[in-house]
Amino acid sequence: MTDLLQIVEHDNLSIVLEQLTAFGKPSLFFLPGWHCKVAMNTTSNGVSFDVASGFGMPTALSAAAMCLYRAKDALQKADYR
């Protein structure tokens, strides 16, 4: 979680959204509460997955930062057997 706190403290929203484009197609919206989702890039036919911040985040930056943290975490933990 330290990485997440560093993102929120040191980056701005446009930087985080630009970083998310390296993983796929990000979207950010208000429902009430902010929510961010990335349709992750995949190279396999018929394979897709999304990474999301969760609903009700207090700021747009915190939602995008959570999504970035989870995208990095998902790829790091991926099992490539």
- Regarding beta strands 34-40 and 24-30, do their DSSP bridges make them parallel or antiparallel, or are they unpaired? antiparallel
DSSP, residue by residue, 7-72: HHHH--HHHHHHHHTTTEEEEEEESSSEEEEEEE---STT---EEE--S-BSSHHHHHHHHHHHHH
CA 63 – CA 28 distance, rounded (Å): 8
Q: Where are the domains of the chain?
A: 2-75
pLDDT digits (tens, 9 = 90+) for 2-35: 666 666 666 789 999 999 999 999 999 998 899 9
pLDDT digits (tens, 9 = 90+) for 23-69: 999 999 998 899 999 999 888 888 888 999 999 999 999 999 999 99
Amino acid present at 60: A
